[in-house]
Structure 1
Amino acid sequence: MAEVDYNKVCEELEKQELDAPNGVPPAHVYEQLLTIYLLQNDLTGAKYLWKRIPSSTKTATPELAQIWGVGQHLWQRDLPAVYTAINHEWSPTVKEIMKALHGKNDDDRVRQRAVELVARAYTSISADDFAQLVGMAPEAAVVAAKEHGWGYDEPTRMILPVPRPPLPHAPTPSEDQLRRLADYVSFLEN
């Protein structure tokens, strides 16, 4: 099965929204776009999309509110609630995107974000707490932690994350920084 380029899909959906008669596309466009924003961790984009969806469309499409419920939990960084809210039978319109977000295939976005957060924030965490953050049973969470090369202290049931080294980044050339600053100031003035 070919991998879906969600960036291109997102661009197409945004274009459909802009080109829609009266600026209101069919509900499935909003559903897919909102779900892709969540998948891409663009919570600000998701929030503004939710605000511009007409109330009549929200009322007529209850799944939109369910998708936004997942978004709200992501916004609040309430990962256990995200796993609960996302564990739902989604319509064919958004099912594959939600699978990618939830991690029912190889592309496990929410769980990877949680693992990276734990690696950066903790030197030790209980297996039960880690399991909640990654939406797994404690035994499976311990196995996953070991697969990441983390330590595990059996008597205390503590997982010992190993932080990832920071990725090196090339400094932005001064000319590029000035151009971006000028664009930003111009944007603020207009």
Structure 2
Amino acid sequence: MDLSPIKEALSVKSFDKIADICDNLLLQAAAEGVSFHDDWPYAIHLLGYFYVDDCDSARFLWKTIPTAIKDTKPEIVAAWRIGQKLWTRDYAGVYGAIRDYDWSLEAKDMVAAFSDLYTRKMFQLLLSAYSTITIRDLALFLGMTENDATTYVVKNGWTVDATSQMVTVKKPAVKREQKVDSSKLQHLTEYVFHLEH
């Protein structure tokens, strides 16, 4: 089976396309009756699903992987540990699963990119859900040391009270709706009326 489309996507860091490429190649292999189990990059496929936040498809893929392959390829199991943590919303556990395995050269960049993406998602979650948070909890959510997490959020305008060990979240400014000029609205109405008749 030709896995060059996967290798190409990995080389140009198109990690958001990996899951679709893998799915299409699997369908093609099934249609052609090609056996692929031993050579299939299951870990990369699982990571591709995690990258696009599709844990359901990852769970389905995990269930289809033969036990013999899971037993002989530890990177697949390591990738699945990330999925288990995502599934249970164990935010700190996701980072632990990422750090607890020495990823292959093929997977290393993808795992690092996923980790960065996940950190940005966690930051957005904190931004929308909290007004204050402890430095300890902040570090758990962002998968960083307390010092690194504090530095990360201070760069984004959050404030830290070292005495209470609390961080105050800086909410983004609310964008005000732009008022529509009534003459522009009238012009638009006339234009639409003209198109319809």
Provide the TM-score with structure 2 as the length reference: 0.73
What amino acid is the match of 1:64?
A: I
Secondary structure of the corresponding residue to residue 94 of structure 1: helix
Equivalent residue for 2:121, pick from 100, 106, 113? 113
Sequence identity percentage: 28
What is the aligned partner in structure 2 of residue 83 from structure 1? 95
8 Å CA contact retained: 1:16, 1:25 = no
- Alignment of 1:126 onto 2:134: yes
What is the aligned partner in structure 1 of residue 28 from structure 2? 19
What is the aligned partner in structure 2 of residue 48 from structure 1? 60
For residues 169 and 12 of structure 2, the distance between their equivalents in structure 1, rounded to whole angstroms, comes to 31
What amino acid is the match of 1:14?
A: D
- Return 5+ residue gaps in structure 1 as ranges: 103-107, 168-190
- Alignment of 1:96 onto 2:109: yes
Given the superposition, is the C-alpha separation of residues 76 and 164 from structure 1 closer, same or farther in structure 2, using an over 3 Å criterion? farther
Provide the TM-score with structure 1 as the length reference: 0.75
Secondary structure of the corresponding residue to residue 162 of structure 1: coil
- What does the per-residue CA deviation read over 1:157-176, in whole Å, with 9 as the maximum and x for residues that have no partner? 21111234689xxxxxxxxx
8 Å CA contact retained: 2:85, 2:93 = yes
What amino acid is the match of 2:109?
A: E
Q: How many pairs are equivalent? A: 162
- Return 5+ residue gaps in structure 2 as ranges: 1-10, 176-197
**Considering only aligned residues, what root-mean-square deviation do their CA atoms show, in Å?**
2.4
- Alignment of 1:144 onto 2:157: no
State which structure, 1 or 2, has the greater radius of gyration over its C-alpha atoms. 2
8 Å CA contact retained: 2:13, 2:110 = no
Secondary structure of the corresponding residue to residue 105 of structure 2: coil
Given the superposition, is the C-alpha separation of residues 101 and 166 from structure 1 closer, same or farther in structure 2, using an over 3 Å criterion? farther
- What does the per-residue CA deviation read over 1:28-52, in whole Å, with 9 as the maximum and x for residues that have no partner? 4222110111122211121111112
